[in-house]
A and B are shown apart, each in its own frame.
Chain A
Amino acid sequence: MPDAPPSPAERDRRWIEEIRRGDERAFEELYHEHREWVFRLALRLTGRHADALDVLQECFAYLLRKLPVLDLRVGLRTFLYPAVQHLSANARQRAGRAHADEEALERAPARDPGAGTERDQLAAALRRLPEAQREVLLMRFVDGLLLEEIAAALDIPLGTVKSRMHHALAALRADEAVRAYFEDG
């Protein structure tokens, strides 16, 4: 029976071991695997393309510095999430801006005018959510992290993550503007 393919976390750990031995190709593979995810997250958190590119570069520079001493027990994205969050906050601070999520949500419908009012309503409904609930919702469905990974990345209990997710979905379900998402087939 063939071996099961490695899990993403196992694959990340193997790459890190190889990079520690100086394997440049392993770094390239790791970079290409996680690059889009880091950039997309940075774009969501900074709200600006140029700032997101800076964060992307700083994030992988940070990872290179940490590699010799990094003992990874979770997926790399769980480890990188707080780093991207911190670097993005620095970028926003340098630009004198506070909440990128809300700014991004305000601009979101304008990026795709053909999308109609449905996404406008969704963006507005998200802005009405408490920040902690919105964060968990977006980390799960936009950043693609599992609940356990969200708990690890935010350093909060899994129960808290589940609770915030439950309340976020309940709030959207109760929101007249977006209730239709929960009623369709």
Chain B
Amino acid sequence: MRPEDEPPDDAPRKLVSDLRALFPAARVPAEVDEAILGRARATLAARRRKRTLLRLVPLAAAATLVLWLALGRKERDTRRVASADVDGSGRVDIVDAYVLALRIEDRPDATEGRRFDQNGDGELDRRDVDLVASAAVRVGS
């Protein structure tokens, strides 16, 4: 019988117990437990809040749209959809996100801000960079 076919767990009990005794367990201090669990609670709570917000945002958006239509707003936003092709290469990839991040660091003027404002909040910031990066890595449908 080849070694790999033999039952491999044939180790004497005393050998196993002495092996374990060479690497004894040690107690985890209570403050370390609390630090780990505290971080976990904060992380899970933040994720729950994010999920709640994501559920509320579509509702808020729908309500806003209804209100806007009902008021008969005449002034339309004719701004073009912001371009994610920041460097004009003809495609959207991570270099666009990188270049946008560099421009944000250099404090862009208002025109550029409107041109690359991906989420339309009037600000050019890391959220717009993340949107460009997300578009860059999207796997085709």
Which among A19, A31, A61, A162 is the interface contact of B44 at CB below 8 angstroms? A19
Q: Which of A1-44 contact B (CB under 8 A)?
A: 19, 22-24, 27-28, 31, 35-36, 39-40, 43-44
Count the A residues whose beta carbon is within 8 Å of the partner chain — how many? 53
Task: Give the shortest distance, in Å, between B141 (CB) and chain A (any CB).
Answer: 20
Which among A140, A159, A178 is the interface contact of B9 at CB below 8 angstroms? A140
Identify which of A74-82, A88-96, A112-120 touches chain B: A112-120
Which among B19, B26, B39 is the interface contact of A122 at CB below 8 angstroms? B19
Please determine whether A163 and B3 come into contact, CB atoms closer than 8 angstroms.
yes
Which residue of chain B has the shortest Cβ distance to A120 in the bound complex? B22
**Residues of chain A at the chain B interface (Cβ within 8 Å):** 19, 22-24, 27-28, 31, 35-36, 39-40, 43-44, 49, 52-53, 56-57, 60-61, 64, 68, 104-105, 108, 111-112, 115, 118-119, 122-123, 126, 137-138, 140-142, 147, 159-163, 165-167, 169, 172, 178, 181-182, 184
**Residues of chain B at the chain A interface (Cβ within 8 Å):** 3-6, 8-12, 14-16, 18-26, 28-29, 32-33, 35-37, 39-41, 43-45, 47-48, 51
Q: List 5 A-B contacts (CB under 8 A).
A: A28-B37, A140-B9, A141-B19, A169-B11, A172-B15
Nearest 7 pairs between A and B by C-beta?
A: A166-B3, A159-B4, A181-B15, A165-B8, A22-B48, A108-B22, A162-B4
